[in-house]
A and B are shown apart, each in its own frame.
Chain A
Amino acid sequence: GENVEQHPSTLSVQEGDSAVIKCTYSDSASNYFPWYKQELGKRPQLIIDIRSNVGEKKDQRIAVTLNKTAKHFSLHITETQPEDSAVYFCAASAGGTSYGKLTFGQGTILTVHP
């Protein structure tokens, strides 16, 4: 089955800096890669996703890049703010009827210091 590795496990940055979280996956059939933000005690919230027919997607301060050849994808947050502090999860699935069958990374605790 699919295996998703996520790094780093913790990330500390100063407000205004950029943050990068990286994930690798093992199953070449995976073609859907969402990123979730989870605040303490709450459900994960989708922040951005990418499908394998594109290499990069951007939404304001958040961007995701995908390298299918190398089987890795990354989340980039620019101009970080204290409210970006949370746990971030990457995930992968094969899409189609398997869209919801996500394999998650172990998460990255992002702390943005004012």
Chain B
Amino acid sequence: SQTIHQWPATLVQPVGSPLSLECTVEGTSNPNLYWYRQAAGRGLQLLFYSVGIGQISSEVPQNLSASRPQDRQFILSSKKLLLSDSGFYLCAWFGKGGGNTIYFGEGSWLTVV
């Protein structure tokens, strides 16, 4: 079966520090991968999506970037964090083997201080 792993689960970072969140998918190949962010008490917002290695599309202008160095690996990064980057970050995948639906990873809680 397909599984999605995301780490770290929680982190507290100072303003101006770098960020790297990693997501990997197992049990499938060539999945569509997504990064969402959820601000406190709000709905989820799509940040980036990728349909293949090296292919990244950004949905909103922001202080973050994404990369897909391998088929089942998706990374969210920042060179200098802002306070407004705080939130709950969720990786998600969609693939034919998943019943044509979208599943989320466990999420990463980021607090920028």
Contacts and interface: CB of A to CB of B under 8 A. Distances in A.
Contacts of A91: 44
Contact of A106 (B43, B59, B93): B43
Interface of A: 6, 34, 41-46, 49, 89, 91, 97, 99-107
Q: How large is the interface on B (under 10, 10 to 19, 20 to 34, 35 or more residues)?
A: 20 to 34
A103 B36 CA distance: 10
B98 to A, nearest CB: 10
Interface in B29-75: 32, 34, 36, 41-46, 49, 51, 59
A93 B32 CA distance: 14
Nearest to B44: A104
B32 A100 contact: yes
B105 A100 contact: no
B47 to A, nearest CB: 11
Contacts of B36: 102
A104 B43 contact: yes
Contacts, number: 54
A106 B40 CA distance: 11
Given A43-B105, A44-B90, A46-B101, A100 B49 contact: yes
A44 B101 contact: no
Given A89-B44, A106-B43, A107-B42, A100 B107 contact: no
A46 B46 contact: no
Contact of A99 (B94, B105, B109): B94
List the 7 closest pairs (A to B, CB-CB), nearest first: A104-B43, A100-B94, A43-B104, A104-B44, A106-B43, A43-B107, A100-B102
Given A42-B107, A44-B90, A102 B102 contact: yes
